[in-house]
Amino acid sequence: MGSLSSGGCVSKSPQKPEYTVFFDTNFLIYLAKPSAPEYPSALKYYQWLKENNVPMLTSVVCVAEFAVKGNPDVIPRDIEVLALEIHHAKTAGKLASIYYQRSKKDKACIADDLKIVAQAQLEKATHLLSHDRDMMKICEHLKSEGIDLPFSLTDPITIPAESCFGFLEI
């Protein structure tokens, strides 16, 4: 990792953030790809979250996927990249065991989805931003098995930021 950047100054009495938002890989790609039709929606989310000091998280798993084609240096530096920690790994394994009990799919698949879900769950994210319908299926399946997922899986492309967080565009 590089050296310490200048670091953002924190206001004297920081307000407790109401939201914590977790980015899936596709969101990170939209954010780095101005030619994509989804870019304006992603950018609006990012700017509103930044402006409102909302903690923005992503996973090393997403960074690894991003790095297959892109240079992760372009991922904004105010996003907290989370390592896959020991309790994340334990929960991901538990989710996998629940998911695979009913799913007939190849067990090698979706392991990364479940790591991301475990991290978003344990980090108490309020929103997981992903345009991926399969991620939606996975979360719905886990919920149907009684898993409490605290976050709302939000499609940042079909649900505009202003609708998601209830702000008025000026």
Partner 1 sequence: MDWLQLRIDDMKPGDLDIPDLLEMIEQAYALLYPNKSAKRQKVSLDIKDCCVLLDLKTDDSAAVKNMQDTLNAVNTSRNLDIVPARFKNALLKLKEKTADLHRPLLINTSQGHPEKPFFLDKNTLLQPENNFWFKTRVYLYGIVYAAGGKDPNIHLETRNKGKVIVSVSYKVLASVKTNLLYKKIGLVASVEQHLHTGEVRNAKFIEFLPYNLDKSETIPPETDAFDQVVDPVEWVRSLRGAV
Produce one character per residue of 132-164: b if its CB has 16 or more CB atoms within 10 Å, e if not: eeebeebbeebeeeebebebebbbbbeeebeeb
Q: Residue 109 or residue 163: which is nearer to partner 1 going by CB?
A: 109
Single residue of 15, 18, 73, 146 touching partner 1 by CB under 8 A: 73
**Residue 85 within binding range of partner 1, rule CB under 8 A:** yes
C-beta neighbour count of 35 within 10 angstroms: 5
For residues 58, 137, 105, 85, the Cα torsion angle rounded to the nearest 10 degrees is 20
What is the contact mask toward partner 1 in residues 145 to 164, using x (rule: CB under 8 A)? --------------------
Residues forming contacts to partner 1 in the complex (CB under 8 A) are: 1-10, 14, 20, 24-26, 29-36, 38, 43, 46-47, 50, 55, 65, 68-71, 73-78, 80-83, 85-88, 90, 105-106, 108-113, 122-124, 131-134, 137-138
